[in-house]
Amino acid sequence: MDFLINESQLRTILQEQDESRMTEYMKTMYSFTKNLANRVSKVYGLNLKMLLTWGTSVGGLVMPLDQFIKNGNFDLTDDQRYLVLAGIAFVMFFENKKGLVKILETIKEEGLEDAFRTGLDKAKELKSSFKGFLSSLNVTVSSFMDTVAYSFLIPIILDIQHIAFKTSDPKESALLIAERLFASGVIVVGAQALFQVIRKIIEKIK
């Protein structure tokens, strides 16, 4: 039998779990993006520091693609896989930036165009699905960046769902979750906007 917990109990649980899964997910996503940028820079001489601007969001979108490529029939080295992922991330987040040309040239030189196109198509599918999910919550997604900015939520939807089923106050729960995510120190979206999105997710699930 499931028992609802009140907001005071939820606050206690989240405050006691300094290494909560959601906080760790935030750090993991940022670390993945940082490692991606550093590795591609070291191996191919490409400057990808811009990816760190959206570190957790890049990780939220690209980490599932990493598993997709690993589990597919791509036959790539680790360095090549990271190069493909970097190209996809740059297209998704910085499509009109000058650095994209150099990344695409390097992907072509390495003969990775097919893997890149396949991965990019999968990224666009994931973005489209996530945009549909946000739209179903009546979350405004007027621009492309409105969608990808919240990509860090993709890996933690199940955690939010778990909390939603056990709490009695969506507003208070959303505030506590937002506070916990900001405690990771790697969130770049606005606090109020994040709170509203999480509140709508919880209300939708409940």
pLDDT tens digit sequence for 156-176: 777 777 776 666 777 777 877
Q: Is residue 22 part of a domain?
A: yes
Burial track 75-91 (b if 16+ CB lie within 10 A, e otherwise) = ebeeebbbbbbbbbbbb
- With vertex at residue 128, the alpha carbon angle to CA 200 and CA 170, rounded to the nearest 5 degrees, is 10
Distance CA 97, CA 171 (A): 38
Q: Is residue 1 part of a domain?
A: no
**Which pTM was predicted?**
0.74
User: For residue 146, what are the domain limits?
Assistant: 7-205
Number of domains in the chain: 1
Q: Is residue 2 part of a domain?
A: no
Q: Which amino acid belongs to residue 81?
A: R
**Residue 76 or residue 97, greater confidence:** 76
What's residue 141's pLDDT?
A: 57
User: Residue 149 has which token pair?
Assistant: 């900015």
Q: Is residue 15 part of a domain?
A: yes
Q: Is residue 98 part of a domain?
A: yes
